[in-house]
Amino acid sequence: MIRVLGAALAAIITLLGLTLALWFAPATQVNLPQQVELNIDASGIAHPITAVLLNFRSYDTLLEVAVVLVAVVAGLALRERGPRVTPHERSADPMLQALTRRLLPLLVLTGVYVLWAGSYAPGGAFQAGALVAAAGVLARLAGYDIASRVDRLLRLGLALGFILFLTVAVSAMFGGRPFLNYPDEWAGSLIFLIEAVLTFSIGLTLLSLFVHAPGDASPQGGGDYGR
């Protein structure tokens, strides 16, 4: 009870602090959309949203990737501490399998397009990763055994996007540039490389959360999500 009250008190104090900070924040003196438009040519990307996320404010995106990584690692750690259950196998729906075989290539192809289009139109790694994860979830629901493949790629794939992102950010400092300041001639290529690897990591992260989610493994529940 004391822990609950302490956590509630800390949450209330944090909420009040954030509210006061926003209330007394000084007025913005810079027209950010105008600044983005003036510097878009130096970003290496034609689309302003992608330029902000992966160049002008790329440290925010780096921290977001780190938060997602921490969340999935914490989720998997809690999963390991839970009771071991034996999966209940069920026969796959032939209609769903037939539909999955036709939709999977379209989902993957759409994900690749969304990743590529992020340079000049709305899109990018997070949207493409969500589509790749959706393809994996659909395959799982159709009865395809993808859990073993996820397990083999999990350790590398979850952290690969963050590791590459951080490596590019730090490597710029060896050339005398600030943290996450890309060389002008390499900016576009580095951003696309980061987004491509992030697509794989984000897709695998979302998929692993689904595959490793606890579920009812009993025959009455009919679930096949337990392991």
pLDDT of amino acid 224: 41
CA angle 124, 114, 65 (to 5 degrees): 30
Burial state string for 144-183 with b = 16 or more CB within 10 A and e = fewer than 16: beebeebeebbeebbbbbbebbbebbeebeeeeeeebebe
181 or 90: which leads in pLDDT = 181
pLDDT of amino acid 211: 74
pLDDT in tens, 135-192: 888 888 887 766 666 566 667 788 888 899 999 888 878 877 888 888 878 888 888 8
pLDDT of amino acid 88: 47
pLDDT of amino acid 26: 81
30 or 97: which leads in pLDDT = 97
Residue 89 pLDDT grade (very low, low, confident, very high; cuts 50, 70, 90): very low
pLDDT above 80 (res 96): yes
pLDDT in tens, 4-57: 898 899 999 999 999 999 888 887 777 777 888 888 888 878 888 888 888 888
pLDDT of amino acid 91: 55
Q: What does pTM read for this prediction?
A: 0.70
pLDDT of amino acid 153: 65
